[in-house]
């Protein structure tokens, strides 16, 4: 799956490719969908949530430009698959999920795989994780209409990067990357995407 569907589409960060190769996606999907675990498409979870398409997981991870020393905030733990990928390419991951059952299942899966550098919290992602800020990178796996200001506030000023799907219409969402510097915030539009909406607590 990785070489045929990910690398062939131009994603070439060797650390991201290795992270996908070393992370068993079947561990993060419901039993009924395990035969499709390596298809390049999103798969359903409970409550209308999904495990993101592997290409999009890889694209978003590569867009953060991680080198292995960073502290990353993830909004929307879901199954824990994206957090597991981030854990292989960053120093520490802080992940927030608004649905307690999903967070609990993700914690069990990550523990079973021996992933020890992910901290999980149940809560409203709009508030971020202020006591652990600033973060070198922030990644959202759910789409807000606009970027929550508190998440930008928790991004490191000297080059911190935020990658998120944005848009309240699922058919008109864009993946954006915001880079924060002392001069302000630079925005880039990267890709047309379709994500579940970001939920308020």
C-alpha 148/C-alpha 126 separation (Å) is 6
Q: Give the distance from CA 186 to its chain's centroid.
A: 20
Catalytic residue among 52, 79, 95, 103: 52
Let me know if 156 is exposed, middle or buried by CB neighbors in 10 A (0-12, 13-18, 19+). Answer: middle
Contacts for 183 with CB less than 8 Å, ≥ 6 apart: none
52 is catalytic: yes
C-alpha 165/C-alpha 169 separation (Å) is 11
Contact (Cβ atoms closer than 8 angstroms) between residue 101 and residue 77: no
Which residues belong to the active site?
A: 52
């Amino acid at each position: 799956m990785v070489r045929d569907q990910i690398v062939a589409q131009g994603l070439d960060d060797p650390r991201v490719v290795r992270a996908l190769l070393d992370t068993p996606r079947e561990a993060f999907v419901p039993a009924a969908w395990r035969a499709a675990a390596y298809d390049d498409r999103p798969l359903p979870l409970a409550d209308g949530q999904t495990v993101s398409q592997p290409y999009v997981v890889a694209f978003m991870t590569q867009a953060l430009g991680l080198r292995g020393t960073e502290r990353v905030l993830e909004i929307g733990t879901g199954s824990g698959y994206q957090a597991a990928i981030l854990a292989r390419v960053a120093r520490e991951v802080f992940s927030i999920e608004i649905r307690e059952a999903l967070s609990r299942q993700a914690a069990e899966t990550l523990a079973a795989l021996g992933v020890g550098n992910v901290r999980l919290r149940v809560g409203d992602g709009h508030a971020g994780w202020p006591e652990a800020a600033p973060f070198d990178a922030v990644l959202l796996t759910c789409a807000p209409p606009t970027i929550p200001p508190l998440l930008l506030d928790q991004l490191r000023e000297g080059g911190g990067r935020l990658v998120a799907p944005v848009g309240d219409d699922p058919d008109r969402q864009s993946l954006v990357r915001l880079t924060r510097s002392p001069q302000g915030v630079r925005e880039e539009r990267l890709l047309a995407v379709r994500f579940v909406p970001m939920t308020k607590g």
